[in-house]
Structure 1
């Protein structure tokens, strides 16, 4: 890039023209509209070694994660004072110079996770006075200087997880942030926690995470956590049993949530811990405490305020009748990921307020109405068990249940009586079972159902009126079955359905068009998903358009058909007057009918990616005329060679055009001007030509302040071969700027010189030029004949002028064909009508053993005769066979042959025949001609004939 261009970009970048120059972002993108005054810039995974200097100065959100920064220096963010959110995680940062972040006074969120920081120095975070959230997790931090957090007066969340902090007093400097509410210090190396080493004064902390530390001692001697409501001690004490010493049980009186998963403590020690939370504990997690006695544990943990207990992954096999007696006020019980195989009513008899029961990932084979007494239940999860049978009484009396998960089991049959008591059921998940049919499963409701999922089963048919009694249903998921047949009115009664998912089935075009009302009964359907089926059309127009009843549909998905749609019938979308988004990628489309979208004028999003649209007329411009409001067009990997079909498409509102992975070589000015509202242009991995045809595009992409050209600096040259692989931005467009006056002078001079030269040649060398021209034609025709196998059909081709035709008809033909039975090829008789004359001549000469030229003055004047001589003589030279016979019908002096260079040479080099004068005997002439015709072709003529 030249210095002038750099200066121009600098001006554009810093706002004198516009803060959003697309090329100035190089590898970055702006995820918000360019006209947005607060853009979000994404620069992750770009391989940067330094903070990009070209980021727009008004950027508020910047993501530069997953790069290769080793340090942050003073001045790196000098022009980004408006930043509020900065993600610089997953780099190699080991040093941040003191004062490097001084310019980020408006920053509220800073993510420095997954770097290589070893310490937090006193000046490293200086200037971040408005910072609310700071992530320093997954670094190598061993030390935090005393005044490191002194300027972070508004900090509320600090994450120091996965570092190398060994002593709790190293955390003390972070408490200089007076408003700190959440502190995450898990996965460090703390083996002792003494509260006095952290603070002796009350802290504002509300959430404290100590998880995954090898705590051997937890000692709290002062009430430093008066506001704490969430404490995570999960996986602590793994190097040995943890000792618990809280001098006053009221110190944790505000804690409502306790995570106590897989803590290495004895049952007695746990019994001593839990009373510390007796007065306020609302939620407790005991996941993974497989060594503890569950009954005793619950006796210690179930306090009046406790509402949620999680006992995941505890290898519980049996639930005793009195196990949950102390927890009668629970509203949520999670027993997932255990080994429970049997349930009974007596297990849950003490619960009076239980609303959520989770039994996922266990070994249940049946339900047997084990919780009929739990009339307050609203949520039940039986997913991923081994349930193979459901009875009519399994959910009796559960009138308040709103959500029921039964997916991931082995259920093969559902009876209509199953849902008789589920009056309030709104969400039912039956996916990943063995259902073969639905039949009348929903004939009795549940009438309040809004979300039904029956995906990943073995359904092959949807019968008439299957869902008629589910009038409140909003979403129906039937993905990943084997559905190949849908009866008429199968979805009748689903008047409130807005989303229907039928992807990954065996639906064909016949399935959709067999009945005229296959999708009737869903007047409010807005989203129809049919991708990954076997839909393919052979007709250009359908007798029964399948979507004609869906006039409220907004989104239609047809992409990734297994056999490819091949073509879209002109009336396939009939009825979709409200459709806004259409996905039809990866369907083997080779051509689009101009009338495809005439029924969908509201379309604003169109995805045609991964199709075979390489032909020039595959996408006609008329296709877009009915959808002038289109704003996003996706054409990725469609084998496109040009975007010229957009020139007359009238897409004045198009804002996003993505066509990466094609064979586009040129973008011209007219095309860009035809898209006045274009904001995003993605043409990565195309085959661009680096020549002056792309001069405008290169300059425009580098300077435009209204359109993002995604990753323009990655575009490379494919042609010419000498520039292949070179960056498109490196092409010198200045070489395309020419001096018009000089060009005019040069062209005029060349034209005058050529005129004089041509005049001279025509005047003095006219016949030589004509001769050379015909010789060249003869060479071309001879080369052409070599490529085909020629068959000899005649003994001689007669080359003569039409003025001499009487002699041919009266003398030559009677003698040679009549008396001697030779087969002759004659113009007027044997040439193929309608075929070019020169082609007839070539075929005649090459289909004959000999060529007889009847030379007269008229013959010498004929251009066609001259062509015949050239072709015959070229054959004579090329094949080295005696194939040419010259016959002079009248005396012609040598000086008259001079202009006819070829004829004169032939006369000098070869013996010729002369027609006798009047009164002379003609028998000798005919005898010599007969001998010449009988001469074997293998006889070598003189090689100097040319």
Structure 2
């Protein structure tokens, strides 16, 4: 209800506003003499007379429209409102309106009589006499059939706006509007009347707007063809019309039809002497822009051709538009743009081509537009673009671009949202654009990086929008962490909805001017002390998975949104809870959205109602501080010394350990128990990795390579029977070996036989209920790359695997660990599951 918007109770007054809408009133209520706005719509008032209103000198607005019953307005009905400025009677069925109903209103500025069922008599019989201040008169949606104006209209010297739309006026001729001659009107509306649809004798009708000056003339939605439009243009020739609205017409053949013609050079020729500055011929069926169709409109600055069916632009279609500054061709059927399309537009600054089907643009198309500053090509079908003009603003969102060319040009604003850019290398190229201040790249597909370019310094970029991409996939490869390195003046950065579960170390360290950062709707579980730049003022970290955020990170902020996170409400969160209750930082979002996720007993509880008293153990530890300090210092010193020694010389330490073990246990060595398997292990690897496997594994483990080695290993190059079916060889190797060791490299993942052997090994594990399969990952293979293979995905999700160490001094330890896994026997076949492997992390 409107009463809520005004802040008043219904059917009441606060002294200035009397709000009596929908109060079932049958007469005007008593209101304070100080009332300025009297609102009486949606009631049942049937009659308004000279005594209906008390004397209300200060009333400026009277709203009496939308009555629920028809009513009559008597002579001088509003004389007790001498200072009334706005009178609204709209959408009320007026059965009787006295010719002197509006007398006594010398200050009336606006009169609303739309939808009141009024006839021609309201214009013809002088109802608006003596309204010397009347500026706006709205008579739309009535039953007016003729515009014969009473001579008193000539005395309305303040009149600026007349609205006769949605009536039934078939013609308007010079003699009817004669009282308005010599006036300047800001708005004259004749839309939706069926105007001039029937035969008109223009020789008799002549120019309806003779000696008038109109800022805006709206004759839209009258169903005009090019014939009617041409005749009307000739008739009003010489009358000054700054803005002519001809929208919702029926000019043009449309797509696939020829029965209605497109405008030609004669259609608008009559407007040559009318000084038209803005022309709107949108919402029609124009298919082809014919040559020199706008030739006579030398002063035109804005041309709106949107929402037609334009598919073809003839040569010199815009010839003569020497002053045009804005051209709107949006929502049409253009598929290609040619070099000749925009010839003759030396002053165009804004070109709107959005919502077409443009897929191809010739390289010289925009070169003639010397003054072009804004180009809008959103929502088209561009897959590639090989050139761009050096202009201020470029809109290219909603296309099909998959790459950005490295072409030299300048721009202040580039919008590339909703395209198909995948490689972050494109961002490095875009940051080379000279003068660029704002770059929008949200809703693309950024997910990979080859980083063929190094970051270059961009001293102008202030705003960068990278939301709704997949930066997590690009950054987890370890590349493109320096993408923001050359942006010292960047102030706003959006990285929302990028599936981020970590921030690369120092990724924001070069953004010394950054003030606003959005990281909302990601998967971040922790923020480290160096993640946020010191200049940051506004941070949106909502809708992540932060468990126990460190409040020290937010101390320098002015605004923070940290709602909708998964807080663990245990003592680790006490510092953050205390900070929430005393911080000067403005917290955005609702307090109810700061709630616990764990433990279940506190799920949904607001952080603001939690107490941290039980987490204060300061008094308990005070007496032990010094003793613990001494003890921990000594222990830590010994531990660090030992750790550093073992870490630095761990390879040598391991050799010493094995030597001592052999000397101590040499008399306790036991022979190996008889085995039902032909081989200790089947080494499955790609033939392209043979040389590496031979040097790294076979020479140190296989007994046939050295008498010091203890294992009888099986591998394809030596032990597979030549000529026998390859699948049979693989099956024999899998079932005749105690363990199967898969050396998983990039070549392994591309080798079909290797993947087949891996599948057989998994089948054996399921059949025996054993852990016979050992996976060794070699090289820089990520978890994501392994899981791309359906046959491997289940294993890496449920089982642990070994990873070949990067540091050479860890190789002996690794080989010993692998040997233990090969020698480990199952407790009972088909009785117990395999013991899970310990993961060997790659050393830094």
1:578 maps onto 2:460 in alignment: yes
Q: 1:166 to 1:389 in 2, by over 3 A?
A: same
| 1:802 to partner: Cα distance | 3.5
Cα deviation, 1:335-379, whole Å, max 9, x if unaligned, reads 112222233543233332122221111111121232213121111
**Which whole-Å CA distance do the structure 1 matches of 2:482 and 2:454 have between them?**
10
**Which whole-Å CA distance do the structure 2 matches of 1:222 and 1:829 have between them?**
116
Q: 1:654 to 1:264 in 2, by over 3 A?
A: same
1:846 maps onto 2:825 in alignment: yes
1:633 is paired with a residue whose SS is: strand
Contact 1:275-1:301 at 8 Å conserved across structures: no
Contact 1:252-1:276 at 8 Å conserved across structures: no
**Which whole-Å CA distance do the structure 2 matches of 1:427 and 1:196 have between them?**
49
1:668 maps onto 2:562 in alignment: no
1:218 maps onto 2:104 in alignment: no
Contact 2:57-2:80 at 8 Å conserved across structures: no
1:284 maps onto 2:162 in alignment: yes
Equivalent position of 1:371 in the other structure: 268
2:172 is paired with a residue whose SS is: helix
Equivalent position of 1:294 in the other structure: 171
Equivalent position of 2:575 in the other structure: 696
**Which whole-Å CA distance do the structure 1 matches of 2:450 and 2:518 have between them?**
17
1:402 maps onto 2:279 in alignment: no
Contact 2:263-2:293 at 8 Å conserved across structures: yes
| 1:609 to partner: Cα distance | 1.0
Contact 1:309-1:334 at 8 Å conserved across structures: yes
Contact 2:153-2:180 at 8 Å conserved across structures: no
Cα deviation, 1:856-915, whole Å, max 9, x if unaligned, reads xxxxxxxxxxxxxxxxxx999x99xxxxxxxxxxxxxxxxxxxxxxxxxxxxxxxxxxxx
Equivalent position of 1:120 in the other structure: 12
| 1:800 to partner: Cα distance | 13
**Which whole-Å CA distance do the structure 2 matches of 1:565 and 1:441 have between them?**
39
| 1:714-725 correspondence to structure 2 within 5 Å | 714-725=593-604
Q: 1:248 to 1:613 in 2, by over 3 A?
A: closer
Equivalent position of 1:609 in the other structure: 496
Alignment counterpart, residue 233 of structure 1, candidates 113, 120, 130: 113
TM-score of the superposed pair, with normalisation by structure 2? 0.67
**Which whole-Å CA distance do the structure 2 matches of 1:507 and 1:744 have between them?**
68
Contact 1:413-1:435 at 8 Å conserved across structures: yes
Equivalent position of 2:326 in the other structure: 427
Cα deviation, 1:36-95, whole Å, max 9, x if unaligned, reads xxxxxxxxxxxxxxxxxxxxxxxxxxxxxxxxxxxxxxxxxxxxxxxxxxxxx778x6xx
Equivalent position of 2:87 in the other structure: 208
Which of structures 1 and 2 has the bigger CA Rg?
A: 1
- Greater RCO between the two (CA within 8 Å, min separation 6)? 1
Contact 1:416-1:440 at 8 Å conserved across structures: no
1:547 maps onto 2:430 in alignment: yes
| 1:571 to partner: Cα distance | 4.9
| 1:136 to partner: Cα distance | 4.8
Alignment counterpart, residue 250 of structure 1, candidates 126, 129, 137: 129
Equivalent position of 1:199 in the other structure: 79
Equivalent position of 2:180 in the other structure: 303
Greater shift in the superposed pair: 376-385 or 311-320: 311-320
Alignment counterpart, residue 628 of structure 1, candidates 512, 532, 538: 512
Equivalent position of 1:334 in the other structure: 218
Contact 1:330-1:351 at 8 Å conserved across structures: no
Equivalent position of 1:176 in the other structure: 56
Contact 1:324-1:347 at 8 Å conserved across structures: no
2:418 is paired with a residue whose SS is: coil
Alignment counterpart, residue 526 of structure 1, candidates 375, 387, 412: 412
Cα deviation, 1:815-836, whole Å, max 9, x if unaligned, reads x99xxxx999x99974897469
Cα deviation, 1:448-492, whole Å, max 9, x if unaligned, reads 1111111111221233232112111121111111112222xx334
Alignment counterpart, residue 368 of structure 2, candidates 443, 452, 469: 469
Q: 1:195 to 1:477 in 2, by over 3 A?
A: farther
Q: 1:221 to 1:559 in 2, by over 3 A?
A: closer
**Which whole-Å CA distance do the structure 2 matches of 1:161 and 1:241 have between them?**
25
Contact 1:456-1:481 at 8 Å conserved across structures: yes
**Which whole-Å CA distance do the structure 1 matches of 2:175 and 2:220 have between them?**
16
Equivalent position of 1:187 in the other structure: 66
Q: 1:845 to 1:438 in 2, by over 3 A?
A: closer
**Which whole-Å CA distance do the structure 2 matches of 1:177 and 1:572 have between them?**
75
1:250 is paired with a residue whose SS is: coil
Q: 1:587 to 1:284 in 2, by over 3 A?
A: same
Equivalent position of 2:838 in the other structure: none
Equivalent position of 2:441 in the other structure: 558
| 1:153-164 correspondence to structure 2 within 5 Å | 155=36, 161-162=41-42
| 1:601 to partner: Cα distance | 1.2
Alignment counterpart, residue 705 of structure 1, candidates 580, 584, 608: 584
Contact 1:321-1:347 at 8 Å conserved across structures: no
Q: 1:836 to 1:167 in 2, by over 3 A?
A: farther
| 1:564 to partner: Cα distance | 4.0
Q: How many residues align?
A: 643
TM-score of the superposed pair, with normalisation by structure 1? 0.60
**Which whole-Å CA distance do the structure 2 matches of 1:626 and 1:823 have between them?**
58
1:660 is paired with a residue whose SS is: coil
Cα deviation, 1:528-563, whole Å, max 9, x if unaligned, reads 1111111111xx757x953365321111001111x4
1:347 maps onto 2:228 in alignment: no
**Which whole-Å CA distance do the structure 2 matches of 1:823 and 1:420 have between them?**
88
| 1:682 to partner: Cα distance | 1.3
Contact 1:144-1:173 at 8 Å conserved across structures: no
**Which whole-Å CA distance do the structure 1 matches of 2:359 and 2:321 have between them?**
27
Equivalent position of 2:421 in the other structure: 535
Contact 1:120-1:144 at 8 Å conserved across structures: no
1:176 is paired with a residue whose SS is: coil
Q: 1:378 to 1:741 in 2, by over 3 A?
A: same
1:698 is paired with a residue whose SS is: helix
**Which whole-Å CA distance do the structure 2 matches of 1:598 and 1:361 have between them?**
52
**Which whole-Å CA distance do the structure 2 matches of 1:465 and 1:507 have between them?**
20
Contact 2:484-2:508 at 8 Å conserved across structures: yes
Q: What residue ranges of structure 1 are gaps of 5+ in the alignment?
A: 1-88, 94-110, 129-133, 753-798, 848-873, 880-946
1:417 maps onto 2:417 in alignment: no
Alignment RMSD: 4.3
**Which whole-Å CA distance do the structure 1 matches of 2:663 and 2:247 have between them?**
102
Cα deviation, 1:390-418, whole Å, max 9, x if unaligned, reads 22231122101111111111111223412
**Which whole-Å CA distance do the structure 1 matches of 2:495 and 2:50 have between them?**
58
Q: What residue ranges of structure 2 are gaps of 5+ in the alignment?
A: 253-261, 632-661, 681-702, 713-811, 833-844
1:735 is paired with a residue whose SS is: helix
| 1:565 to partner: Cα distance | 4.7
